[in-house]
Amino acid sequence: MSHTALIVEDDPGMRHLLQETLTSAGIASLFAETGAAMWRQLEHGPDLIILDLSLPDADGLELLRKLRRQSEIPVLIHSTRSDEIERIIGIEIGADDFLPKPCNMRELLARTRSLLRRSQQRSSPTGRAVLRSLKFGDWTLNGATRELVHHSGKTETLGVAAFALLSCMLERPFEPLSRDFLSRTALRRDYHPFDRIIDVHISHLRRLLGKQGDNTPYIKTLRAQGYIFVAAVTPVE
């Protein structure tokens, strides 16, 4: 199955480099130099967006915020604005991954493929059949819609990566999970010790979920090990 990535980037040299990298893997490219052009190109139905945050007519984070109100398309942020705060904000408002400029193009391609695989698995008839809704504490994770539903009725839609990580932990409650395991099993990519993408996603999930009835978090950090989900999980029939 062929895929198409929408490259939202105002630097022509970077656009060309990204296109060559994607073409080598059989991924077609669409281009947008501005935020306005991004909205027009979305009408062509790309499978993924590679988004620069610094555009001539718009802030990339605000574009992402608006995009998430109407689309679940996977988004990989690729930007020089790569400090910790930018990464955290990007992940919290819906980015699925974040790579700073400059980066190794092989790594960018690997992460692009990973996002495409997870998105395709979720949308395929086979993938939909195995997705379950899981209840824990005051929350239910809807496997078909990627929505977290609180018993009060509040709903939060998770990005592709956050959903994959939480699903992985819910399938293994009370089991210590290393960052390497979560990266390979949930995100389907190699783990790099200095890559904090998992930590940022976990931090975001903790803020969304809040505390349990005994005022403890749902996800605990195990020093030098990884994370553990510490609540009973039951399938929803």
Q: What is the pLDDT of residues 62-76, one digit of tens each?
A: 999 899 888 888 999
Q: Give the CA angle between residues 52, 77, 196 to the nearest 5°.
A: 140
Residue whose tokens read 């499978």: 47
* C-alpha torsion sign, points 213, 92, 22, 7: positive
Contact between 8 and 32 under an 8 Å Cβ cutoff? The reply is yes
Give all strands (DSSP E) within 85-206, no chain letters.
97-100, 134-136, 139-142, 147-150, 155-157, 177-178
Give CATH 3.40.50.2300 domain extents, the chain: 3-124
Note the CATH number of domain 131-235.
1.10.10.10
Q: What pLDDT does 103 receive?
A: 85
The topology (CATH level 3) of 3-124 is Rossmann fold (3.40.50)
Quote the pLDDT of residue 3.
Answer: 92
Tokens, residue 140: 């239910």
In the 8-state DSSP scheme, what is residue 59?
B
Amino acid at position 211, single letter: K
Count of all residues that appear for the chain in the document:
237
Query: CA 188 → CA 11, 111, 133, 169, 219, distances in Å?
Result: 30, 9, 22, 15, 21
DSSP bridge partners of 28: 4
**114 Ramachandran zone, left/alpha/beta (phi>0; psi -120 to 50):** alpha
The residues, any chain, with a CB within 8 Å of residue 98's CB and separated by 6 or more, are: 76, 77, 79, 82, 87, 90, 91, 197, 200
Give CA–CA dist 78/233, Å, rounded. Answer: 36
- Residue 193: closest CA among 217, 226, 147, 151: 226
pTM: 0.68
Residue type, 222: L
> Tens digits of per-residue pLDDT, 223-232?
878 999 999 9
Express each pLDDT in 164-221 by its tens digit. 899 999 999 999 999 889 988 887 777 776 667 788 889 889 999 999 989 999 999 9
Tell me where in the chain the CATH 1.10.10.10 domain(s) lie.
Answer: 131-235
Question: Residue 65: is it exposed, middle or buried by C-beta count within 10 angstroms (0-12/13-18/19+)?
Answer: middle
Query: Which tens digit of pLDDT belongs to each residue from 65-110?
Result: 899 888 888 999 999 887 777 888 888 788 888 888 888 899 899 8
Minimum mean pLDDT range among 16-25, 132-141, 154-163, 215-224:
154-163
